[in-house]
Amino acid sequence: MSKETNHLTPSIDEAEEKKLILNRYRALLRSSNRNLSDEDKKMIRSAFDLAMDAHKDVRRKSGEPYILHPIEVAIIVSKEIGLGKTSIVAALMHDVVEDSDYTLEDIQRIFGNEIAKIIDGLTKISGIFDKDISVQAENFRKMLLTISDDVRVILIKLADRLHNMRTMESMQDYKQRKIASETLFLYAPLAHRFGLHNIKNELEDLSLKYTEPDIYNDIEQRLIEERSDRTRYLKTFSSRIRDRLNKEDLNFSIKERAKSVYSIRKKMLEQKISFDEVYDKFAIRIIVDSPPEKEKTDCWRVYSIITNIYQPNPKRLRDWITSPKSNGYESLHITVMGPEGHWIEVQIRSLRMDEIAEKGYAAHWKYKDEEGYNDQFLEEWLIKVRELLEMKSKTSAVEFVDSFKLNLFSDEIFVFTPEGELRRLPTGAFPLDFAYDIHTDIGNKTLGAKVNGRLVALNYKLRSGDQVEILTSNAQTPKEEWLPYTVTARARNNIKQALKGQRKKRIEDGERILQRKLNFVKVKPTPKLINQMVRHFGLKNADLLHEKIGKGVIDNKHIKGFLQEQNQGFMSYLRTKLRRGKKPKGLNEDVDKNELTILFGPNNESLEHKLAQCCTPIPGDAIFGYRSSAGILTVHRTDCPNALALQSKHANRIIQAEWMLEKMVDNTAILILKGIDTVGLVNKVTQIISNNLNVNIKSINISGGAGVFEGIITVIVEDKIHLDKVISQLKQVEGVTTVERRFKK
């Protein structure tokens, strides 16, 4: 639990220590904003006595009795988070099982199953962080698993971390930095997501205090120096507002506050400005005591009054009353120009909203005998947590934490369906994230998107206020190139699952097709024969062979060619020797043969080379090498426009070249289509390329006139076999008369 303990001789008078402990215990009883019954107080006293016994003679590095730590954690849980008796009892005993001879069974016998379950959760996440980031990430996931059981485990853990951060002075510097970095990395964002804004701000400030002490002390000192001037200024600023609000017969209070040290530092970094250039270092909060039915009306009345007095900055209006944040935060934020040209932020909220802002989710919960909760925002958040936890089995621990922080700790945007329904998404979300947020089937069938009535690309980043319409097609299926255009775990996980299913089906289909074709020519599909086919087509394994057959990239013609070559005996021997036997000259020992694509010269050497941009050769093309006067070896197609000139003028620089093993990379090819213009031509072409052949279209431009058309299509293919298949299929489209591969200009 990031604690430092010692068994030390008391440093102060024992009677004074007992008095201090008793005073803090009484402060704990006073801290609860709930009415504790005599039975509640009796249970809290039992927990306190047990904790006293478990931690007797144990001290922290500071020398103080260790029992003060669980008491202070319980006070934070009760006063600052707003939880009740069950959480107070659990907080008092949160270190008991880990640090003493008391067992979980003892806790269960004395205090019951519910408290024992919370203590068990707290014990399991003890020592959660490690220097190894992957272990740290895995442990963080384990902590999140406890959310599904009882959210109070995490809230007590946050309180524990806050008190540890408040009392780190006695620790060594490197431990202070480590704990502070961990806090800033995960605990502060977690507090923010639970709506605990005061705790989040304090965790951030304390983290900065230990990670960048000089910067923290400088900003803090300058805030202290400005305090008297700030107080005087804010009193002048708010007096005019107070007078006007009193005339409106509103029941309200005004609080003044300074921006946190961390948020000032963050703004200085983001905007590359100095401390003096941060103009909204101060703020006031106006809290109206209104009945639920008048809350919004009264908040907007206050807004109207303030903006009649001071000029607002329209770019800085934040309306979280109409659309609360996903953690339940409700407030109206405006920035106005005060006297002497200072920008002042004004927060307007009701008493209920203020309680939620201070206590977070705890303010929402409606406990019955201290059990359960009923909160829409928390439930929505927990659903997302569970989705991410399910995704963990398919990703590394570090990827999981990155995804978790992106999806649940990031700022939000608010977008709308065509019917006006509000949806929350992380900042940076794409139309596909929106589609999958609506429903998995919508996402899987996404053909395109309209934003505010305008057709947009799938890489369009959504912004707050956008109205999004998803265009779907039953013929559409998820594609691998969609993944860069998603940020939410739900979208990425569903796409990966669909791709995995598609590949599995293609492999199964290919296996059946190959079996049927070989049976037809009375050839037995032995493992040896399959391996020979794998090598023949330059693939890595049988799954890739079956997948290509299933996609139609390797068809009957190619299989027939392989079988004919097998029957030639000597050619089969040479090919086998070349691909399986002795390594070609010039091939380094550490070169992965699966990455080797071209061999040069009569001795089949592996040489450093690059592919010519003028003809963009792809695996399967007839090729040759040309070595320039500078010694650079470039690979051209034999039908390259420059081939004739190179071979005639520089025959001594020409080197024979041959494709060997296929490199699984994307290859670009440009196709020219010509023909008679027909209705739905573009749709037919894209249907064949994208859906029938699973080819990614990089760009398409088809124009027509006077009954004819010409089109240029850039496609991404695996090799020449794949490209030939595309060309063959396109030639069968009604109206298409010619399909040719074009050289780059």
Residues acting as catalytic residues: 98-99
Which residues 6+ apart lie within 8 Å of 651 measured at CB? none
CA distance 339 to 40: 52
CA distance 122 to 116: 10
* Of the candidates 325, 307, 326, the residue with the CA atom closest to the CA atom of residue 317: 307
Which residues 6+ apart lie within 8 Å of 197 measured at CB? 191, 329, 357, 358, 360
β-strands 708-717, 667-676: how paired? Answer: antiparallel
The angle formed by the CA atoms of residues 573, 575 and 578, to the nearest 5 degrees, is 105
Handedness of CA 509, 510, 511, 516 (dihedral sign): positive
Residue type, 110: I
Q: How many CB atoms lie within 10 A of CB 640?
A: 22
Residue type, 733: V
Residue type, 293: E
Q: How many CB atoms lie within 10 A of CB 74?
A: 33
The angle formed by the CA atoms of residues 35, 41 and 45, to the nearest 5 degrees, is 150
Which residues 6+ apart lie within 8 Å of 436 measured at CB? 442, 443, 486, 488, 490, 491, 494
CA distance 260 to 275: 13
State the distance between the two ends of the chain, measured CA to CA, in whole angstroms: 65
Residue type, 489: A
CA distance 456 to 244: 48
Residues paired with residue 5 on neighbouring β-strands, in sequence order: 60
Residues paired with residue 599 on neighbouring β-strands, in sequence order: 658
Beta strands (DSSP E) in 35-135 are 59-60
Q: Which two tokens stand for residue 351?
A: 């008493």
Q: How many CB atoms lie within 10 A of CB 644?
A: 11
Residue type, 150: D
Q: How many CB atoms lie within 10 A of CB 619?
A: 24
CB 67 within 8 A of CB 1: no
Name the H helices within 212-346: 213-225, 227-247, 261-271, 295-309
